[in-house]
Amino acid sequence: MHPRVIWTEKPSEHAIVSWTSSVFGTDNYVVFGTNKQLNKNTLQSKSLKEGKITMRSMDYEEGVPEAYYHHAELKNLNSSTTYYFKFCTDNTCSDIYYFITAPEKDQSYSIISGGDSRLGGKKPRFAGRTPLIERQKMNKMIAKMTEEDPSILAFAHGGDYCTTADWRHLYYWFEDHELTITKDKRILPLILTRGNHEHEIGFLENFWLGEISNEHSDGYFFMTQITPTSALLTLNTETSMAGDQLEFLEETLEEHRAKNNWMFVQYHKPAYPAVKDFNREDFYHVRKYWVPLFEKHKISMALESDGHSLKKTAPILDGKIDPKGIIYIGEGGLGVPQREPFPERWFFDEESIVEAKHHLWKISVDDTIANVTAFGIEQDTLHSFSVTSKVFETKSEVHE
């Protein structure tokens, strides 16, 4: 149960398949291949990381079942290829699902972006006691959008999947996440961000990045090369924003920015919050440590969450509105109750949107233009705009 596909650094050739089982078993593996029935030319990948999901007393009180996590890496995949797979425990196998690998050649593509898919209802902290209508509706909409637009390659989640990462919350999140699967069993790969509600051991158990090259993979910051000239940086506001992570950010931008027409970045807590206190220390640290590098390397756009409100800022550069600056969008509307924002803040202008509405963002990327649309819970268009790619040259290139 609970099938999911995770993308990390090189989604044209690598993916992680994760699932939950009700028994641990002695042999856990994924069967995969390009044949729809998986009846010939199949490959097998063993579960590399697995174990019993940590249960607390409240998990038992809530009545969620004991279960086991499994993660298998699929390597040496072909780009732009449909891979069918099923996961098995002791030869008892799931239905057959499929996903599509990223391209190795430049092409137009789209991703879905959003965060804060925590529980709905009047008392959203209580899993299983209140209806999860908003989250379920957003997930069904993701499946529908994926069916309607095959250019959608991945789902970049901005963090705060649940109220906590304990099993009584994650269990229901995984149950609802299955609603994002299309009618023909396509699974949209997740690009994971860690939020401030993911501090329990359950997050590490159930969301695994595999053997990526970043030695700090347990810190959940990495770069995903979506196409040869388009990348998404994922950062983690729940650990030090200086130190190793800042070094990673600076080195990654120095090495990769000039090679990519598009360099997006996602992280949980906002630099320019629509709802919470602008001067809060963690938001200040995003602006102090990361934003100068964003601006120096002319990132394409920043994707934020945490506030529980729809927002698009004006373009910002050097602490003021500037048409050459960076637009920050967000801010977490995948099911959590929405909050009233503060549209009078200086970083919003007449072309911004600042509203308390459930939402997700669809980012459609071409060679030089990205069309960005916020969709509401009824798949209604709430806001749309375009950004152009920013030419970035290294010092050596400028000198030459």
Q: Give 179-183 contacts, CB < 8 A, sequence gap 24+.
A: 179/136, 179/139, 179/140, 179/142, 179/143, 180/139, 180/140, 180/142, 180/143, 180/146, 180/155, 181/3, 181/97, 181/143, 182/143, 182/146, 182/147, 183/143, 183/147
Query: What distance in Å separates the CA atoms of residue 31 and residue 132, rounded to the nearest whole number?
Result: 33
Q: How many CB atoms lie within 10 A of CB 324?
A: 11
Q: How many CB atoms lie within 10 A of CB 64?
A: 21
Helices and strands, counts by H and E, the chain: 8, 24
What does the DSSP 8-state code read for residue 188? Answer: P
- High-pLDDT (> 90) share of the chain, %: 82
User: What is the pLDDT, as a whole number, of residue 164?
Assistant: 87
Q: At what angle do helices 167-177 and 133-148 cross, to 10 degrees?
A: 40
Residue pair 262/300 in contact (Cβ under 8 Å)? The answer is yes
Going along the chain from its start, the domains and CATH numbers come out as 104-399 (3.60.21.10)
Query: What distance in Å separates the CA atoms of residue 232 and residue 223, rounded to the nearest whole number?
Result: 6
Residue pair 330/313 in contact (Cβ under 8 Å)? The answer is no
Query: What distance in Å separates the CA atoms of residue 25 and residue 276, rounded to the nearest whole number?
Result: 46
User: What is the pLDDT, as a whole number, of residue 199?
Assistant: 82
367-379 pLDDT, tens digit each: 999 999 999 999 9
User: What is the pLDDT, as a whole number, of residue 211?
Assistant: 75
User: What is the pLDDT, as a whole number, of residue 78?
Assistant: 98
Query: What distance in Å separates the CA atoms of residue 207 and residue 222, rounded to the nearest whole number?
Result: 14
User: What is the pLDDT, as a whole number, of residue 18?
Assistant: 97
What does the DSSP 8-state code read for residue 138? Answer: H
**What is the residue type of 386?**
S
**CA-to-CA separations, 253 to 12, 158, 214, in angstroms, rounded:** 21, 20, 14
What does the DSSP 8-state code read for residue 42? Answer: -
Which segments of the chain have a pLDDT < 70?
Answer: 120-131, 213-218, 393-400
* Tokens describing residue 108: 């137009």
User: What is the pLDDT, as a whole number, of residue 396?
Assistant: 47
What is the model's pTM? 0.94
User: What is the pLDDT, as a whole number, of residue 399?
Assistant: 38
